[in-house]
Amino acid sequence: MTPLTRSRLTIMTVAAGGLLFFLHLLGVLSEAETWIMRKLSGQEAALSETAGSIRQTVGAPFRVGEIIKENERLRADNAARDVEIARLTSIREENDELRAILGFAEKRTTAPVVARVLARTPEAGTHTILLDRGSDDGVAVEMPVIAAGGVLIGKIFKVDRASSIALLLTDTRSRVGASVQNADRTQGLVQGERGLGLEMRLIPQNEEIRVGDLIVTSGIEPLTPQGLVLGRVEEVQTQEKNPFKKALIASPVAFDQVSVVAIPFP
């Protein structure tokens, strides 16, 4: 190939990039893009799951001490939860009985969309996941994304027809209205801490919150229901002269190991 031909071909390739962009803007590529994403979703979900298990397996030996401590804590939590479940079961039975007496019809809600995690988005420094469900499945921007156990892990940020991108709570740009399950029902704002964890801010200094308190969504955002679990208070940080204090929150979910999520409809 002569240098001139090579230069021409290089320029043509760059021009092809421009052409692709304009065809995308005109919507001509929409069907093809949706088709590609649908075709890839199976393989990408499998790859994503494999990477998650490799990460977990390789990291496990380095976390033995942490795992033992976590196991002890979970055993203690489990015992406390059994007591709580017994209490709630009796309340539920009583509630059912009272509803029956009052003739309440059970509120029917649409089943949530279950989505698989296909990939992490390529932009460096962001904490997002690509899901295999899009607007064709009813997914919309700002909808909550929930992991196993009803734990909120993020919100839908961008939606295409066959896929969507969720901004994880750990991303610095993420903000969720939250409340503490304490006597005061303390309100605050949970936001990401540079991909490392979660922080609850704007907690008034006079409100009493303790390590271990459960943090749930306050339901202040229109599409996010109240009471979705965000995590438990790990540490409370108070600064003098600051009208607000902040709390570090430990989520029960490992954000980098999630492979299946649910998106509930409001």
Partner 1 sequence: MLRALIVIALAFATAVFQASFLSHLPFPLSTISFPMLAVAYGIAHDRPLLAVGWALVAGATLDLHGMLGFGSEITALFAAFFGARFLFLRVLTNAGASARFLLAAAVAIVHWFTLAAIDGARVIFGAVPIIVDLSAASILAPLRQALVNGLLLLLVFAIESAARRRFSRTFLSHASSPHAFS
> Binding to partner 1 by residue 24, rule CB under 8 A?
yes
| Residues between 149 and 178 that touch partner 1 (CB under 8 A) | 157-158, 163, 165, 172-173
> Binding to partner 1 by residue 40, rule CB under 8 A?
yes
Measured between alpha carbons, how far is residue 208 from residues 180, 183, 230, 247 in Å?
10, 9, 19, 11
Residues in the chain: 266
> Binding to partner 1 by residue 91, rule CB under 8 A?
no
The token pair that represents 123 in the structure block: 């932009």
The DSSP symbol for 205 reads T
The region that residue 169 occupies, defined by phi over 0 for left and psi between -120 and 50 for alpha, beta otherwise, is alpha
Q: With contacts defined by CB under 8 A, how many residues of the chain interact with partner 1?
A: 49
The DSSP symbol for 258 reads -
Question: CB under 8 A: which stretch of 32-40, 66-74, 80-88, 180-188 binds partner 1?
Answer: 32-40
Among 59, 212, 227, 243, binds partner 1 (CB under 8 A): 59
| Residues between 97 and 126 that touch partner 1 (CB under 8 A) | 118-126
- 155 neighbors 166 (Cβ within 8 angstroms): yes
Closer CB to partner 1, residue 55 or residue 99?
Answer: 55
* Alpha helices (runs of H) in the chain, residue ranges in sequence order: 3-26, 30-59, 64-102
Rounded to the nearest 5 degrees, what angle is found at the Cα of 246, between the Cα atoms of 189 and 216?
Answer: 45
| Residues between 222 and 261 that touch partner 1 (CB under 8 A) | 256
> Binding to partner 1 by residue 201, rule CB under 8 A?
no
> Binding to partner 1 by residue 190, rule CB under 8 A?
no
Sign of CA dihedral 173, 176, 181, 184: positive
Kindly list the residues in this chain that would bind partner 1 in the complex (CB under 8 A): 6-7, 9-10, 13-14, 16-17, 20-21, 24, 29, 33, 36-37, 40, 43-45, 47-48, 50-52, 54-55, 58-59, 118-126, 128, 130, 157-158, 163, 165, 172-173, 194-196, 256
